[in-house]
Structure 1
Amino acid sequence: MRRLLLLSCFMLFSVKALGNHTIDKRTFAVSNTIPPYFFANGQSGIQYDRLTAALAKQHMSIDHIYLSPNKRAIRQVLSKNVDCLINAPDNLNDLYYTRSLISYQNSVFTLASKAIVIENVNDLASLSVMGFQNATQYLGSAFYDMAKGNPKYGESNSQRSQVMMLFSGRVDAIILERRIFDYYRNQLKFKLDTGLATREHPLFSQAPRKIACYDKSLAEKIDLGIAQLEQEEATGKLAPGG
């Protein structure tokens, strides 16, 4: 009888211990594919890996990532069909935010051979410039004013096309995130000469990328996981993710 009681206690303890380490799987939405941050398979990329590491700190994991246009991604979370929105814009009602998971660095890129001097946004006013889609909504009022007054300013929903336009000489400058530029520059090296020297003009501040969830406690857990990841990076245990 005593042996049976001990066995029952051991089994109960084992079940509780196992329960404490159960992985909590969550769903996320992000606006389409943004290599090298997220790739088309939804299961790889710089930001994907960083999110996976942060979630693991809180015994969580990614169940599925939905690649959706901006507005649809927001609706998926607001309707509670998806747990959290990656790269959430500020001030979405009824959602709870984490700290920044990673920062993007938007920059101006030109060909060095053109020797273009760009020290501020106003220097773009006389150039042919191709920005990323909705760049005027993200890069400040001075950039917005420049774009509206520049008949040679345009926007593209294809970062790949932007890079091709720069290296083919079709535009003087492009506005693109630094890692995205490097990715497509490498991808296109067999299609055109992307080995040409370029200049980066860092006119813009880093852009934090936060996660927003419909559940407050979930957002707090993810936020804590990001904080733990940052602490490990600060102490040198991991390479920083940007």
Structure 2
Amino acid sequence: MYKATYFAAALSLALFQSPAVATADEITILAGDLPPMFNADGSGREAEIISTVMERCGHTVSFEIQPFTRHWKTYASGTGDAVATVPVGMPLGGHQSDVYIQYQNGVSFLTDAGNTYGDLAALAGHSVIAFMGASDILPGLKDAASSFKSYKEVADQIGQSRMIFGKRVDAVVGDGMIFAEYNRQLREQSGDLMFDPNQGVTFQAIFEPSSYGMNFRDAQLAEDFNRCFAEADAEGAIEAINSAWAERYRETLGTQYLGH
């Protein structure tokens, strides 16, 4: 869902550092707080993939969860053995793995609203909200935004759920699984809400999937990860993890999330 165009300059300042080689069996991995990819307790779709792969190689992992994008900067400063969810080609130092996960961005909207959004042009004349920095990241969004009735980017993603259920916006642009998880969290909140959080939501994929790798300070760990990921993928373990997580949000995602 994210690329590093506007973080690259700051991060490149830290690349002069000599990488520390991890020698312990337990690998510390920096990860962004992006439920359900990474939850605060270190669980999640992406966490499960990484743990499965590393354990196959004989390594155990511990995740240090930080606000998304900060985890890149923390790694660049010299902390941790590896960092997750790195856009392909991002100049972050160390050794980048092969692609191990994809996110799927698209449009989420109230099912009963009677609209459908097959592409960005279909959003013309509608009120749209997106994650912070989306217009610099998602292809075509910045140019299309001028045709929207209104367009706003917010860092508080559960706030996006509040706005769609409260009918303050027509559509939310972002990763479908992440949005569905925040909807789930909102439904579980106690207290009176001024809207019905149980309204049906539909997700439609309109962007190409975003691919991510991991960066390791130790080249051997990167090689291990690539080898063990390929083995796990060939055996169907990665597909099984992705499908199981998509199934949790089937009511919203349908079959739009990476075909799962």
Query: Shorter-chain-normalised TM-score: which range?
Result: 0.7 to 0.9
Of 231, 234, 244, which aligns to 1:231?
Answer: 234
Total equivalences in the alignment: 215
Contact 2:164 2:171 in 1 (8 A): yes
Q: Distance in 1 between matches of 2:214 and 2:136?
A: 19
Q: Tell me which residue corresponds to 2:110.
A: 111
Q: Distance in 1 between matches of 2:124 and 2:216?
A: 39
Contact 1:26 1:83 in 2 (8 A): yes
Deviations 1:139-193 (A, max 9, x none): 11x2121125546111111221111110110001001322222222222225442
Per the TM alignment, residue 44 of structure 1 is displaced from its structure 2 partner at its CA by 1.5
Unaligned runs of 5+ in 2: 1-22, 244-260
Per the TM alignment, residue 45 of structure 1 is displaced from its structure 2 partner at its CA by 1.6
Deviations 1:99-132 (A, max 9, x none): 2222211120112332223222122232110001
Residues 50 and 202 from structure 1, CA distance in 2 versus in 1: closer, same or farther, beyond 3 angstroms? same
Report the 3-state secondary structure (helix = DSSP H, G, I; strand = E; otherwise coil) of the residue aligned with 2:54. helix
Are 2:206 and 1:208 aligned?
Answer: no
Contact 1:23 1:59 in 2 (8 A): no
Structure 2-normalised TM-score?
Answer: 0.74
Counterparts of residues 28-47 of structure 1 (less than 5 Å): 28-31=29-32, 33-41=33-41, 43-47=42-46
Q: Tell me which residue corresponds to 2:100.
A: 101
Q: Distance in 2 between matches of 1:195 and 1:83?
A: 41
Deviations 1:46-79 (A, max 9, x none): 2112211110111011134241441x42233234
Counterparts of residues 1-242 of structure 1 (less than 5 Å): 24-31=25-32, 33-41=33-41, 43-70=42-69, 72-93=70-91, 94-140=93-139, 142-147=140-145, 150=148, 152-189=150-187, 191=193, 192-233=195-236, 239-241=240-242
Q: Distance in 1 between matches of 2:224 and 2:67?
A: 24
Q: Please tell me the residue identity of whatever aligns with 1:132.
A: F
Contact 2:88 2:211 in 1 (8 A): no
Q: Distance in 1 between matches of 2:71 and 2:180?
A: 26
Report the 3-state secondary structure (helix = DSSP H, G, I; strand = E; otherwise coil) of the residue aligned with 1:88. strand
Report the 3-state secondary structure (helix = DSSP H, G, I; strand = E; otherwise coil) of the residue aligned with 1:122. helix
Q: Distance in 1 between matches of 2:209 and 2:112?
A: 27
Q: Please tell me the residue identity of whatever aligns with 1:231.
A: A
Structure 1-normalised TM-score?
Answer: 0.79
Q: Distance in 2 between matches of 1:224 and 1:80?
A: 25
Contact 2:31 2:63 in 1 (8 A): no
Unaligned runs of 5+ in 1: 1-21
Q: Please tell me the residue identity of whatever aligns with 2:56.
A: K
Contact 1:57 1:228 in 2 (8 A): no
Residues 223 and 148 from structure 1, CA distance in 2 versus in 1: closer, same or farther, beyond 3 angstroms? farther
Higher mean alpha-carbon deviation, 99-108 vs 54-63, is at: 99-108
Contact 2:40 2:65 in 1 (8 A): no
Higher mean alpha-carbon deviation, 187-196 vs 212-221, is at: 187-196
Q: Distance in 2 between matches of 1:75 and 1:57?
A: 28
